[in-house]
Structure 1
Amino acid sequence: MRLSRAISVQRWVLARAQGICEGCGQPAPFLNEKNEPFFEIHHVKHLVDGGTDSTWNTVALCPNCHRRCHHSIDKHEFTQSL
């Protein structure tokens, strides 16, 4: 089941990040095909767990920080720090 994700929320979060990962504080690792900083959008509280697709529940992360939220030994602590 794919849950709805608002493009307006994604755009707002990317603008808020200003090219800096909201997890590690480093610049985006590269530019995408639109010449924009590449980030992955992450919901701090997952949509399937009742999280909302809102700007306060969403962060812009570099690929490493996004994987850390899902696969690291400290994933819960790291995610809560966001």
Structure 2
Amino acid sequence: MSPDPSPVDKRCPRCGQGFHCGITDAGPCPCTHVRLDGPTLAALRQRHADCLCLRCLGELAQQGIDTGSALH
């Protein structure tokens, strides 16, 4: 049996805060519970190559994203 992968710590490309990415955790990553609408998700995929923190994902889930301007 191989050892568990080490935790993944990242920096959010939207706000710059450090956060723990749960992609390698035993359970599902908390971000899988955040629901984003189609246009917001598509815009995020175009603008960011990596994960955003839960705070930013939560804000975007509530507010959506202006697909005509850059994220702050």
TM normalised by structure 2 equals 0.41
In the superposition, the TM-score normalised over structure 1's length comes to 0.37
Higher helix share: 1
The higher-RCO structure (CA 8 Å, 6+ apart) is 2
